[in-house]
Chain A
Amino acid sequence: EPEVTQTPSHQVTQMGQEVILRCVPISNHLYFYWYRQILGQKVEFLVSFYNNEISEKSEIFDDQFSVERPDGSNFTLKIRSTKLEDSAMYFCASSAEGLASTNTQYFGPGTRLTVL
């Protein structure tokens, strides 16, 4: 069964460093998302991406965040200058269609980001 994959599973970085989290969505999906979950808290939406551009973003997704689909398979989240409060589990998700139809989002296993 197709699944969303994410690399790395765990990333440790120093405050102020740039990190890139990578995701490979399910191959025939058109909508891509990033969410984050601070330890012990709820899952929060960051950004959605469709047709090579951002379609929605939350207040959390400020100028230090960016997303990109550099090729036909990868979907990346870049954090330019990490802060301690960026430590969280980051989930990538994809869906086949938008809200008008099924819109079931399938999640990857997550990348645990630790900022020291």
Chain B
Amino acid sequence: AQKVTQAQTEISVVEKEDVTLDCVYETRDTTYYLFWYKQPPSGELVFLIRRNSFDEQNEISGRYSWNFQKSTSSFNFTITASQVVDSAVYFCALSARNAGNMLTFGGGTRLMVKP
């Protein structure tokens, strides 16, 4: 069985603050993929990043960065200098080789960025 936990259900920050969204996962597979998706108020799911289990390099894309640590089974997401447009629900998800192609989602973190 696989599981994704996003302990923070809701975070509120003021614009320009940095914010980190936590994600902890469980899987017995040694080959797996981790994802972050953004769900803005309009409701669609927007792909942000994919990480392979054998690649622990951190990644930065503009104001977004991701910290993958296998030792703690975590895949955290940091937004630097947050903006109001970052307000959304963010989902962490996992797919593992022996679980087929299905994505297992965490419960999501609602991020509210206030001006």
Interface residues of A (CB under 8 A from B): 31, 33, 35, 41-45, 48, 50, 55-56, 58, 89, 91, 93, 95, 98-100, 102-110, 112
Contact of B104 with A107 in the complex, beta carbons under 8 Å: no
Of A98, A105, A106, which is in contact with the most chain B CB atoms at under 10 Å from its CB? A105
Q: Known contacts A48-B102, A95-B101; is A43 also within 8 Å of B47 by CB?
A: no
Q: Which 4 A-B pairs have the closest CB atoms?
A: A56-B100, A107-B45, A45-B102, A43-B105
Contact of B100 with A42 in the complex, beta carbons under 8 Å: no
Subset of 11 A-B contacts with CB under 8 Å: A33-B103, A42-B105, A43-B45, A43-B105, A48-B102, A55-B101, A56-B101, A99-B100, A103-B95, A104-B47, A104-B50
| Secondary structure of the A contact surface, majority rule | strand
Interface residues of B (CB under 8 A from A): 31, 33, 35, 37, 42-47, 50, 91, 93, 95-97, 100-108
